[in-house]
Amino acid sequence: MVKAANLGYPRIGAKRELKKALESYWKGDLDAAALEATAAGLRAANWAAQAEAGMARIPSNDFSFYDQVLDTTAMLGAVPPRFAGLDGLDAYFAMARGTDAAPAMEMTKWFDTNYHYIVPELTAGMTFRLANQIPVERFKEAKARGVHTRPVLVGPVTWLALAKAKTEGLEPLSLLPQVVAVYAELLGRLAEAGADWVQIDEPILVRDLSPAEAEALRGAYDTLSAALSKGGPRILLATYFGALGDNLELACGLPVDGLHIDLVRAPGQLDAVLAKVGDKSLSLGLIDGRNIWRSDLSRALGLAQKATAALGGERVEIAPSCSLLHVPVDLAHETALDDELKGWLAFARQKLDEVAALARAAGSGREAAADAFAAADAAMAARAASARIHDPAVKARAAAVTAADLERPSPYAVRIAKQQARLGLPAYPTTTIGSFPQTPEIRKARAAHRRGEMNDADYRAFLEEQTRQCIRRQEELGLDVLVHGEFERNDMVEYFGEQLSGFTFTKNGWVQSYGSRCVKPPVIFGDVSRPRAMTVDWAKFAAAQTTRPMKGMLTGPVTILQWSFVRDDQPRAETCRQVALAIRDEVADLERAGLPIIQIDEAALREGLPLRQAERQEYLDWAVAAFRLTASAVADETQIHTHMCYSEFNDIMPAIAAMDADVISIEASRSDMELLEAFRDFEYPNDIGPGVWDIHSPRVPEQSAMVSLLKSATALIPADRLWVNPDCGLKTRGWPEVERSITHLVGAARTLREKA
Ligand code: GLN
Ligand code: ZN
């Protein structure tokens, strides 16, 4: 029999029950017992759903109150000293969210997903112990409900590889023996509780490994297998998010009983794995855990049959490519999507059915799941042929893009001179990144409009008044280049997606981003085009309110792609180019409307970088080309800005320079301008606005602090190429702090001008 297996299920709940419970608990409106009860209810429902769907391997310990990496940190007793004195849930949430006395631990993206984990902190002399037995408790909890589970653990080497050393010179992997000792103890406890298998996730196996990391993997699993030789659960080593590549022999050679591989991202690795897997069981990640499309079951069955032919059905499991954490819970709750589109989609619950059908067919032939296969084939065929997906005009236009379409008429040096003549800005020009505070009043009006309680005309008048006031305030504060404030936008991707064809939106397609925070990515299902201008009305309205230069605000194609569920029937690069052409038309329309400056935000360009070094250049090539395609339709006199919300540029400087934006604004205040060294070393030629105000914190920075940041900047970048701006948009801030901070920012720019 081929087993149907799952690696992890969304924990947030189909109606975001966990989010709501957590937030009430944090507010003090819910007690710990009620929070625990909600969590237990979700776990029970998830186990029941998976059992009902026919999963033979059902995960436990995939639930988390915040994050599975933080769970591991807490379990290992690796609590940073600043949280001493707290315990249980208090300590746990303090690590995640901080307290007045102790700032939160850092958070960063989990591999190339939009899920964020809490970065473990390591200090010299740190000790590890089995500080809690949550994985064991969860196993027993499921067992009490009649569900035999396979507990999931973040692997010890991945945990250490993702950790940050807080002591100078401390090598995280040097702590491996102590960490592995805790895992060995835990596996013993799981065995006592009756677990026969555990799933240990080591996704670092799909990254480029250092020799030390490879050695750590060997050491860790040698130790664990020695410890288990006296009895204990068998280990399924799970890899996902890509191919094993040059780590394939290493992974296949580790002394574990099973291996999970991602055959959605890397179907080509199956043959090589089959040749090397020895006598291990193999879990085939055939159903996409990172996207929402219904699977091509027939194609997947071909791969599954290859594996059963080589290994025999007993040693094969069928599974999603990775945990289903990264997809929404249940398509059944999408009542507003039309049936055609719905027929092309599968959320977590539907993916379980796909796994089950595929496992049945892999074990007993396609006839064993004839209905599911017939339905899947029909859906594939309907989708491929649908006129809603294919727009010949869009395809023809994308195919006709030439190198000349990616070129501005003149080089930066020529452009900037013309732009300066047109704009007449002072030295150290001041501007903001786009959004101004989204006050409760604005959110209320938007919600009322959405519910139909405020009519279009009243809503429009309300937004006009907000925009007018925002522009007047910017003038009073003395900013040089103004923005309209983005009050009409709910979100920087959704706003555009709603107006482009080829996009759709779900009602409940929530995916956990971090902690209680969820995102609902737009779905790009078809060829993308722009039926009409999207921002020109507001831009024109705003420009008419002032005599100062107004900046038109757009989201770039790479960011739109990165923050959406993207169609899987053509390369991402192709979809990105279509989005780029739509935004290019918007840029041209904004220029025609008289906007002298247009900003194209590429907040997510960096996070789209492939995990493997060898794949990065190809990505950067098409991503940069897409940006240039949007930006190159304008005259020299029109100034193109871009904005990026991060401060790591070292490894992507050539791409940043190749984007050739006239002005780039970046996040810099927290790095003390050190990141500008990358720009200096690369001799980055164009204008730069390094953020001088950390907008992630409510703190109002002193003018003197901004002056000193700007002075550091002038030591690295010629003064005549520097702009003065915050780190990012201001939508999450309040007006009082914004007014004070911008007063300081404008004051700092004036101070530098006087010195010049
Ligand atoms: N223009 C957007 C804003 O100001 C940019 C936000 C971002 O890059 N994350 O909100
Ligand atoms: Zn930003």
**What gap in Å lies between CA 134 and CA 153, rounded to an integer?**
11
Mean pLDDT of 373-401: 97
**What gap in Å lies between CA 243 and CA 246, rounded to an integer?**
9
The pair of structure tokens assigned to 739 is 């007014």
Q: Helices 703-716 and 735-755 sit at what angle, rounded to 10 degrees? A: 50
Q: Is 434 in the pocket of ligand 1 (CB under 6 A)?
A: yes
**What gap in Å lies between CA 240 and CA 305, rounded to an integer?**
21
> Do residues 183 and 256 lie in contact, with contact meaning Cβ atoms separated by under 8 Å?
no
ipTM of the complex: 0.99
Mapped to the 3 state alphabet, what secondary structure does 180-240 carry? HHHHHHHHHHHHHHCCCEEEEECHHHHCCCCHHHHHHHHHHHHHHHHHHCCCCCEEEEECC
Mean pLDDT of 533-551: 98
What is the atom index within ligand 1 of the atom nearest the CA of 643?
8
pLDDT greater at residue 269 or residue 102 = 269
For residue 496, report the distance from its CA to the centre of ligand 1, in Å.
13
For residue 50, which of 3, 16, 110 has the smallest C-alpha distance?
Answer: 3
Q: Is 645 in the pocket of ligand 1 (CB under 6 A)?
A: yes
**What gap in Å lies between CA 728 and CA 692, rounded to an integer?**
10
Q: Quick check: 26 pLDDT over 80? A: yes
Instruction: Give the full edge-to-edge strand order of the sheet including 501-504.
Output: 501-504, 523-529, 565-566
Instruction: Give the full edge-to-edge strand order of the sheet including 197-201.
Output: 3-4, 316-320, 281-287, 258-262, 234-238, 197-201, 149-154, 58-60
For residue 703, which of 489, 478, 534 has the smallest C-alpha distance?
Answer: 478
Mean pLDDT of 166-174: 96
pLDDT for the residue numbered 590: 98
pLDDT for the residue numbered 290: 98
Q: Is 695 in the pocket of ligand 1 (CB under 6 A)?
A: no
> Do residues 27 and 93 lie in contact, with contact meaning Cβ atoms separated by under 8 Å?
no
Percentage of residues in the chain having pLDDT higher than 90: 96
> Do residues 97 and 515 lie in contact, with contact meaning Cβ atoms separated by under 8 Å?
yes
> Do residues 58 and 46 lie in contact, with contact meaning Cβ atoms separated by under 8 Å?
no
pLDDT for the residue numbered 696: 86
Q: Which ligand is nearest to the CA of 689?
A: 2
Give residue-wise pLDDT tens across range 716-730: 999 999 999 999 999
> Do residues 660 and 408 lie in contact, with contact meaning Cβ atoms separated by under 8 Å?
yes
Torsion of CA 443, 446, 452, 454, to 10 degrees: 90
Measured CA distances, 146 to 134, 135, 233 (Å)? 18, 17, 19
For residue 539, which of 593, 488, 499 has the smallest C-alpha distance?
Answer: 593
Give residue-wise pLDDT tens across range 689-718: 999 999 988 889 999 999 999 999 999 999
Q: Helices 297-311 and 348-364 sit at what angle, rounded to 10 degrees? A: 50
pLDDT for the residue numbered 262: 98
> Do residues 360 and 318 lie in contact, with contact meaning Cβ atoms separated by under 8 Å?
no
For residue 300, report the distance from its CA to the centre of ligand 1, in Å.
40
pLDDT for the residue numbered 130: 98
Q: Helices 134-144 and 32-52 sit at what angle, rounded to 10 degrees? A: 60
User: pLDDT band at 289, cuts 50/70/90?
Assistant: very high
Q: Is 3 in the pocket of ligand 1 (CB under 6 A)?
A: no
For residue 690, report the distance from its CA to the centre of ligand 2, in Å.
11
Mean pLDDT of 194-216: 98
Q: Quick check: 328 pLDDT over 90? A: yes
Any bridge partners for residue 199, and if so which?
Answer: 152, 236
User: What is the C-alpha R_g of the chain?
Assistant: 27
| Ligand 1 atom 1, closest CA | 434
For residue 718, which of 670, 671, 752 has the smallest C-alpha distance?
Answer: 752
What is the atom index within ligand 1 of the atom nearest the CA of 435?
4
Q: Quick check: 368 pLDDT over 90? A: yes
User: pLDDT band at 343, cuts 50/70/90?
Assistant: very high
3 state SS of 11: coil
What is the atom index within ligand 1 of the atom nearest the CA of 559?
8
Mean pLDDT of 201-213: 98
Q: Which ligand is nearest to the CA of 489?
A: 1
Q: What is the DSSP string of 551-587?
A: EEEEE-HHHHHHTSEEPSSS-HHHHHHHHHHHHHHHH
User: pLDDT band at 358, cuts 50/70/90?
Assistant: very high
| Ligand 1 atom 4, closest CA | 729
Question: What are 647-650's contacts with CB under 8 Å, separation 24+?
Answer: 647/671, 647/675, 648/606, 648/675, 649/675, 649/678, 649/679, 650/678
Residues carrying an active site annotation: 696
Q: Quick check: 152 pLDDT over 80? A: yes
Considering the chain, what is the average pLDDT of its residues? 97
For residue 22, report the distance from its CA to the centre of ligand 1, in Å.
27
**What gap in Å lies between CA 329 and CA 9, rounded to an integer?**
8
**What gap in Å lies between CA 182 and CA 254, rounded to an integer?**
19
Q: Quick check: 339 pLDDT over 80? A: yes
Neighbours of 351 (CB within 10 A): 25
Measured CA distances, 535 to 190, 485, 586, 600 (Å)? 57, 12, 8, 12
For residue 644, report the distance from its CA to the centre of ligand 2, in Å.
5
Q: Quick check: 756 pLDDT over 80? A: no
Which range has the worst mean pLDDT, 38-47, 654-663, 696-705?
Answer: 696-705
What is the atom index within ligand 1 of the atom nearest the CA of 645?
8
CA angle 430, 432, 434 (to 5 degrees): 150
- Mutate-to-test residue for ligand 1 from 114, 486, 694, highest number of ligand atoms within 8 A of CB: 486
> Do residues 250 and 239 lie in contact, with contact meaning Cβ atoms separated by under 8 Å?
no
> Do residues 3 and 258 lie in contact, with contact meaning Cβ atoms separated by under 8 Å?
no
User: pLDDT band at 466, cuts 50/70/90?
Assistant: very high
User: pLDDT band at 566, cuts 50/70/90?
Assistant: very high
- Mutate-to-test residue for ligand 1 from 601, 644, 730, highest number of ligand atoms within 8 A of CB: 601
For residue 7, report the distance from its CA to the centre of ligand 1, in Å.
35
pLDDT for the residue numbered 646: 79
> Do residues 162 and 119 lie in contact, with contact meaning Cβ atoms separated by under 8 Å?
yes
Percentage of residues in the chain having pLDDT higher than 70: 100
Mean pLDDT of 263-284: 98
Q: What is the DSSP string of 81-100?
A: GGGTT--HHHHHHHHHH--S
Q: Quick check: 618 pLDDT over 90? A: yes
Q: What is the DSSP string of 576-619?
A: HHHHHHHHHHHHHHHHHTT-SEEEEE-TTTGGG--SSHHHHHHH
Q: Is 731 in the pocket of ligand 1 (CB under 6 A)?
A: yes
> Do residues 467 and 487 lie in contact, with contact meaning Cβ atoms separated by under 8 Å?
yes
- Mutate-to-test residue for ligand 1 from 433, 474, 493, highest number of ligand atoms within 8 A of CB: 433
pLDDT for the residue numbered 476: 98
Q: Which ligand is nearest to the CA of 553?
A: 1
β pairing state of 511-514 and 517-519: antiparallel
| Ligand 1 atom 5, closest CA | 729
Q: Quick check: 645 pLDDT over 90? A: no
Give residue-wise pLDDT tens across range 480-530: 999 999 999 999 999 999 999 999 999 999 999 999 999 999 999 999 999
Q: Is 691 in the pocket of ligand 1 (CB under 6 A)?
A: no
> Do residues 434 and 643 lie in contact, with contact meaning Cβ atoms separated by under 8 Å?
yes
DSSP state for residue 682 in the 8-state scheme: T
Q: Is 437 in the pocket of ligand 1 (CB under 6 A)?
A: no
* Placement of tokens 């002193």 in the chain: 702
pLDDT for the residue numbered 436: 98
pLDDT for the residue numbered 648: 87
Measured CA distances, 24 to 30, 300, 388 (Å)? 5, 43, 42
Q: Chain-centre distance of CA 698, in angstroms?
A: 24
Q: What is the enclosing helix (H) or strand (E) of 284?
A: strand 281-287
| Ligand 1 atom 3, closest CA | 729
For residue 405, report the distance from its CA to the centre of ligand 2, in Å.
27
Q: Which amino acid is at 369?
A: A
Q: Is 604 in the pocket of ligand 1 (CB under 6 A)?
A: no
What is the atom index within ligand 1 of the atom nearest the CA of 433?
4
What φ, ψ does residue 150 adopt, rounded to 5°?
-115, 105
Q: What is the DSSP string of 319-358?
A: EESS-GGGS-S-GGG--SS-HHHHTTB--HHHHHHHHHHH
For residue 433, report the distance from its CA to the centre of ligand 2, in Å.
7
Q: Is 643 in the pocket of ligand 1 (CB under 6 A)?
A: yes
